[in-house]
Amino acid sequence: MQTTSDDVLIGRIASGDRLAMQVLFARHHVKVYRFVLRLVRNESAAEDLISDVFFDVWRQAGKFEGRSAVSTWLLSIARFKALSALRRRGEVELDDETASAIEDQSDDPEVVLAKKDKGAVLRQCLSGLSAEHREIIDLVYYHEKSVAEVASIVGIPEATVKTRMFYARKKLSELLKERGIDRGWP
C-alpha cells in the first residue's frame, strides 16, 4: 500500500488528527534529532528541542503552504530552535574563524589506533568542524538537501550555499592534514 505523503499528513494534523501527528513524528524525529544534536551537542537538550519542533508543527500545520518539502520545513524549525537555544547558552559559533579545534588526544591509545582507520579520523574531523560547517555538510550529505533547500533552511543565497560547502570541505581537508592525512586537496 502506498505510504501517505507528508503533505497529506500535515493536512490531517491541521485538522487536529493526532494519529497523523504520530505518523509524522515516527517518520522524521530521528533525523531531526540528529540534526539538532549535531548543533547543540547535548542529548537531553536535543530531545527537548525536537519535542518543541513537533509541537510547533502541531500548532502551525494549518499555515504550511507546501512550498517546500515537509522535511525541509522541519529542519528549518529545528535549526531556528537549536540556534535560539545556543544563543541562550551563549554558545553560538557560526563564524568560520571560530571553528572548534579538535581536542589534542595524541596520547590516547584509542586515537593512535584510530589513525590507522582513515574513516574514523575523517569522522572525528567532521565533528571538529565549526557549527556552520557541520550544519551545511550534514544538510547536503546526510539530509540530502538540494542547493535550494539548504538555502531555504539556512536563509542564505544559493551561491553562498555552494561556496560555504566548498569552504567546509576545504577546512575538513585542513583538519585531516593536521591529523596526518594529506588528501592532496585543496
Partner 1 sequence: MNAVNETPVSDIELLLPWHAAGTLSNRDSQRVETALANDPELARQFELVREELSEDIHLNETLGAPSARAMESLFARIEAEPARMPAVSFNLGARVRDFFASLSPRTLAWSASAAAIAILLQAGLIAGIMIKESGVSSVSGGDYQTASVPSAFAGDGSFALIRFQPQANAADIAKFLEANNLSLTGGPITGALFRVQVAATKLPTTDLANIVKKLQSDKMIVGFVAATQ
- Closer CB to partner 1, 65 or 107, in the complex: 65
- Closer CB to partner 1, 15 or 107, in the complex: 15
Q: Contact with partner 1 (CB under 8 A): which of 112, 113, 170, 178?
A: 170
Q: Is the separation of the CB atoms in 79 and 135 below 8 Å?
A: yes
Q: Is the separation of the CB atoms in 49 and 40 below 8 Å?
A: yes
Minimum distance from CB of 162 to partner 1 (Å)? 4
Closest C-alpha to 155, from 34, 68, 90: 68
Residues listed for the chain:
186
Our finding on whether 12 is near partner 1 (CB under 8 A) is yes
Show the beta-strand stretches assigned E in 3-125: none
Minimum distance from CB of 109 to partner 1 (Å)? 21
Give the whole-angstrom CA distance, residue 177 versus residue 183: 7
Q: Is the separation of the CB atoms in 128 and 175 below 8 Å?
A: yes
| Interacting residues toward partner 1 by CB under 8 A | 1-2, 4, 7, 11-12, 14-23, 25, 29-30, 33-34, 37-38, 43, 46-48, 50-51, 54-55, 58-59, 61-63, 65-67, 119, 122-123, 126-127, 137-138, 140-142, 144-147, 149, 162-163, 165-167, 169-170, 172-173, 183-186
